[in-house]
Amino acid sequence: MKWYDEVEYIRKQAMKNNEFFANSLPMIASENVLSPLCREMLITDFHGRYAEGTPGNRYYEGCKFFDLVEEKTMELAKKLFCCNYADVRPTSGTIANLAVLKALIKPGETATVLDTANGAHISFGKYGAAGVRGINLVSFPFSNEEMNIDVDGAVKLIKQVKPKLALCGQSVFLFPTPLKPIAEAAHEVGAYVVYDAAHVLGLIAGKRFQDPLREGADVMNGSTHKTLPGPQGGMILSDHKADNEDDKAFIRKLGFGVFPGVTSSYHLHHVAAKGIAYAEHLEFGEAYADQTIKNAKHLAEALHEQGFKVFGEKLGFTKSHQVLVEIGPGKGKEASKILEEAGIVTNMNMIPGDSDPLNPSGLRLGTPELTRIGMKEKEMVDVAAFYARALLKKENPKKIKGDVKEFRKDFQELCYCFKEGFRGYDYHKLI
């Protein structure tokens, strides 16, 4: 029993974390809550097993049940995204991005991409996966007014530099990417189009955002734990059909990029949980995506009315799950700390014009988790009022935290997931 105190310490911190989030407003745009059925998969025996390779072609024995799970999960993924190819092995969205870069571009070759200050994810930057791969990155022009890629400038750039890849998709993602003209230009110069859907994967699956694979993307990568509320992990999708030699070679490259490219075994329990999440999203995804976007739009409007500067005003603030707010030069970190003290969890974020990612001027807010626990448009007005109290009126954060806790009492059940019929458990309670 020598180390019992240390074990108990870790357990207590986990319980305190559960309690903290159950009494707060979790609004980090890249986070969500697992359904109980997904959580059940994470504590199965799959969690400690290995399955290098593909179903029926393993380097380890003992995979016969997992092979069936992976095959079913791929089947559900293809149905959810209406596509011909799905790889559910990547252990994160960044690993999915790295696998595709490994498959489709060589060190020293050129890719076009947004700057991180304009909303791109760090994995497509020089300090992330693209930098690890040694890619020559050329930045797309950006429209601050549209909060999006400058499409005319992007088309001109692609024709000028003739990249191997045109990398699209963002981490700050308010509006759909103008993908069709970008893809047309990329394909004209022989480039592949890769769309990072990490943040908006669930909105795409719910048919409420855009449809990249039908708009010209050759590959769509994503995270499985943001607007698609599954376990932490990644996936790779394509609509290329393996019915000719070129497409067969393309699909083989993608698979080889994942294994042995950037994975060995790949968190089998997470794959099983992904399958559950895909099935739940097939059932509830359209309603969930619809409400998530409605909530984000309502929140943005309410924050604007409270006196905050909210980006994207010209186009209705947002068409996704995200809201981007300007706080003041270098004030994003301070604001996020104040909000945490008040029971509101979000993150500092760079806005156009920022150069220091550690001292940015904005906040990125997300509605996936608030939607998941049943909040709708009218609650977004209350949420915006909490922000105003904390950041504009400078009220005591401890007083606000108590009010937030009281506000959360009516939102302690998960929505948009299977709730009954499995062993009789009351699965939908959060704690």
Q: What is the pLDDT of residues 92-112, one digit of tens each?
A: 999 999 999 999 999 999 999
Residue 419 pLDDT more than 90?
A: no
The C-alpha atoms of residue 95 and residue 55 are separated, in whole angstroms, by: 20
* pLDDT (average), residues 291-295: 98
Residue 165 neighbours by CB under 8 Å, 6+ apart? 101, 104, 105, 109, 111, 112, 135, 191, 192, 193, 194
* pLDDT (average), residues 314-332: 97
430, with CB counted inside 10 A (0-12, 13-18, 19+), is: middle
Residue-wise pLDDT for 71-81, tens only, equals 999 999 999 99
* pLDDT (average), residues 167-184: 95
Q: Locate tokens 């007014």: which residue?
A: 145
Can you give the pLDDT at residue 357? 87
CB 316, CB 344: distance < 8 Å: no
CB 38, CB 279: distance < 8 Å: no
**Amino acid sitting at position 431:** I
The C-alpha atoms of residue 150 and residue 56 are separated, in whole angstroms, by: 46
Share of residues in the chain with pLDDT > 70 (%): 97
Can you give the pLDDT at residue 128? 77
What does 308-369 look like in DSSP terms, one character per residue?
-EETTGGGTS-SSSEEEEE--TT-HHHHHHHHHHTTEE-EEE--TT---TTS-SEEEEE-HH
CB 166, CB 158: distance < 8 Å: yes
Q: Which of 75, 121, 74 is nearest to 98 (CA)?
A: 121
The C-alpha atoms of residue 417 and residue 165 are separated, in whole angstroms, by: 37
CB 285, CB 227: distance < 8 Å: no
Can you give the pLDDT at residue 420? 59
What is the topology classification, in CATH, of domain 38-277? Aspartate Aminotransferase; domain 2 (3.40.640)
Residue 5 pLDDT more than 70?
A: yes
Pick 51 or 428 by higher pLDDT: 51
Residue 299 neighbours by CB under 8 Å, 6+ apart? 323, 365, 367, 380, 383, 384
Residue 421 pLDDT more than 60?
A: no
1, with CB counted inside 10 A (0-12, 13-18, 19+), is: exposed
**pTM recorded for the entire structure:** 0.94
**Token couple for 88:** 């559910």
Q: Which of 35, 36, 29, 77 is nearest to 221 (CA)?
A: 77
The C-alpha atoms of residue 22 and residue 429 are separated, in whole angstroms, by: 11
Radius of gyration, CA atoms only, the chain: 22
Question: Using 50, 70 and 90 to split pLDDT, how confident is the model at 120?
Answer: confident
CB 271, CB 91: distance < 8 Å: no
Question: Using 50, 70 and 90 to split pLDDT, how confident is the model at 118?
Answer: confident
Q: How many CB atoms lie within 10 A of CB 405?
A: 14
The C-alpha atoms of residue 398 and residue 404 are separated, in whole angstroms, by: 10
* pLDDT (average), residues 155-178: 95
Q: Which of 68, 173, 67, 54 is nearest to 124 (CA)?
A: 173
Reduce the DSSP state of residue 9 to 3 states and report it: helix
The C-alpha atoms of residue 316 and residue 312 are separated, in whole angstroms, by: 6
Q: Sketch the domain layout of the chain as residue ranges.
A: 38-277
* pLDDT (average), residues 380-398: 98
Which helix (H) or strand (E) covers residue 196, if one does?
Answer: strand 192-196
Which helix (H) or strand (E) covers residue 75, if one does?
Answer: helix 64-81
The C-alpha atoms of residue 133 and residue 94 are separated, in whole angstroms, by: 13
Q: How many CB atoms lie within 10 A of CB 3?
A: 8
Quote the mean pLDDT of the chain. 94
* pLDDT (average), residues 412-431: 66
* pLDDT (average), residues 276-298: 98
* pLDDT (average), residues 401-411: 97
